[in-house]
């Protein structure tokens, strides 16, 4: 796991965008795993800027969303399919038919979860998965207690997560209780994972999953088993890391040819 500590969310977004730009320029048919929430927004802003100003093109790229609420009608402003369209794919030139998300409205949710796994496989697997992390250590919506080998399935949101996400709704009562999420096993299949987090509210979760034991109690800790994970955080999110100085030292002395 590489931990990169940067001054602010702008630099965090730009560095994660560098990893995506390098991938898309070298492999125009790349498959991106797309997260929602606040953390990836600076990445999407930066990619949209590079699309407008530097000719970064996504025409052959495929995108797979990490998760989706169950119970919001299709087209709901806060459905993750809509958020990803609004915040990223509609701002660049990704073909609409190349953007996929778990179906939270399916009558047969189990069948839809299976079909989603198959669609990721058929696209060749995820090359680069963007992740945020919940204050309780979730990734995707794999809440504490999730199997470390889980695949796409329906989950019940933790109350902490509903509380955290209520800022996107008029009241917490409108936050769905259920979601469809890629499993931890699904996320672990991605070839490169780039997790971004900013702010003091994430400091404990970062400490727990980067330096704590691997445990279903902290789902993001499964990433310790992944061969290529880049954690990009700001100073505030890094305050509880015992190894912060050594992570800074390693990144400061990294040979440029290694890339991210
Ligand atoms: C979003 C997702 C979640 C968020 C996490 C952090 O698709 O899967 O795991 O990444 O809840 O959310 P923010 O970034 O809003 O703090």
Domain-wise residue ranges, the chain: 2-255
Burial (CB count <10 Å: 0-12, 13-18, 19+), residue 109: middle
Report the C-alpha gap between 134 and 179 in whole angstroms: 15
Classify domain 2-255 by CATH number.
3.40.50.1360
**What pLDDT was estimated at residue 244?**
98
Cα→Cα distances 205→30, 55, 133, 217, 251, Å = 30, 37, 8, 11, 21
**Residue 249: burial class (beta carbons within 10 Å; 0-12, 13-18, 19+):** exposed
Predicted local confidence at residue 233, as pLDDT: 98
**Predicted pLDDT of residue 101:** 97
2 is catalytic: no
User: Is-contact 249 20, C-beta < 8 A?
Assistant: no
pLDDT of residue 18: 98
Residue 196 vs residues 86, 172, 180: alpha-carbon distances, Å: 20, 25, 21
The active-site residue out of 117, 127, 136, 142 is 136
Reported as a single tens digit per residue, the pLDDT across 48-94 is 999 999 999 999 999 999 999 999 998 999 999 999 999 999 999 99
Name every protein residue with a CB atom under 6 angstroms from any ligand 1 atom. Answer: 35-39, 66-67, 132-134, 138-141
What's the predicted TM-score (pTM) here? 0.98
- Alpha carbon distances (Å) from 188 to 98, 146, 160: 22, 14, 24
Please check whether residue 184 is in contact with residue 148, taking contact to mean a CB–CB distance below 8 angstroms: yes
Ligand 1 atom closest to residue 65's alpha carbon, by position in its atom list: 7
Helices and strands (H, E) in the chain, number of each type: 8, 10
- Whether the CB-CB separation of 240 and 207 falls below 8 Å is answered with yes
**What are the tens digits of pLDDT across the range 158-187?**
999 999 999 999 999 999 999 999 999 999
- Active-site option among 46, 67, 103, 127: 67
Give pLDDT, residue 89: 97
Q: Which residue has the tokens 């989706």?
A: 68
Whole-number Å distance between alpha carbons of 223 and 138: 11
Q: Residue 146's CB: how many other CB atoms inside 10 A?
A: 22
Given a contact cutoff of 8 angstroms between Cβ atoms, the answer to whether 174 and 202 are in contact is: no
Report the alpha-carbon distance of residue 53 to residue 15 in Å, rounded: 17
The residue whose CB lies within 8 Å of the most ligand 1 atoms, and thus the one to mutate among 37, 42, 234, is 37
Segments of the chain scoring below 50 in pLDDT: none
Distance 140 CA to ligand 1 centre (A): 7
């Amino acid at each position: 796991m590489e931990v990169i500590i940067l001054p602010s969310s702008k630099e965090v977004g730009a560095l994660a965008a560098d990893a995506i730009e390098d991938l898309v320029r070298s492999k125009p048919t790349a498959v991106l795993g797309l997260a929602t929430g606040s953390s990836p927004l600076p990445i999407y802003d930066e990619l949209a800027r590079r699309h407008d100003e530097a000719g970064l093109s996504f025409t052959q790229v495929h995108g797979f969303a990490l998760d989706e609420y169950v119970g919001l009608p299709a087209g709901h402003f806060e459905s993750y399919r809509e958020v990803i369209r609004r915040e990223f794919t509609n701002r660049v030139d990704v073909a609409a038919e190349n953007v996929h998300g778990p179906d939270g409205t399916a009558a047969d949710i189990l069948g839809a979860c299976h079909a989603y796994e198959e669609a990721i496989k058929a696209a060749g697997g995820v090359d680069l998965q963007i992740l945020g992390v919940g204050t309780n250590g979730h990734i995707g919506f794999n809440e504490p207690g999730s199997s470390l080998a889980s695949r796409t399935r329906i989950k019940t949101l933790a109350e902490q997560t509903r509380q955290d996400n209520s800022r996107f709704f008029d009241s917490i009562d409108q936050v769905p209780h259920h979601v469809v999420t890629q499993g931890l096993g699904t996320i672990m299949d991605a070839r490169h994972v780039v997790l971004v987090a900013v702010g003091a509210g994430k400091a404990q979760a970062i400490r727990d999953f980067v330096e704590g034991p691997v445990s279903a109690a902290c789902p993001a800790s499964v990433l310790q088993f992944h061969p290529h994970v880049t954690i990009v955080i700001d100073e505030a999110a890094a305050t509880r890391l015992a190894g912060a100085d050594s992570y800074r030292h390693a990144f400061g002395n990294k040979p440029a040819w290694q890339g991210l």
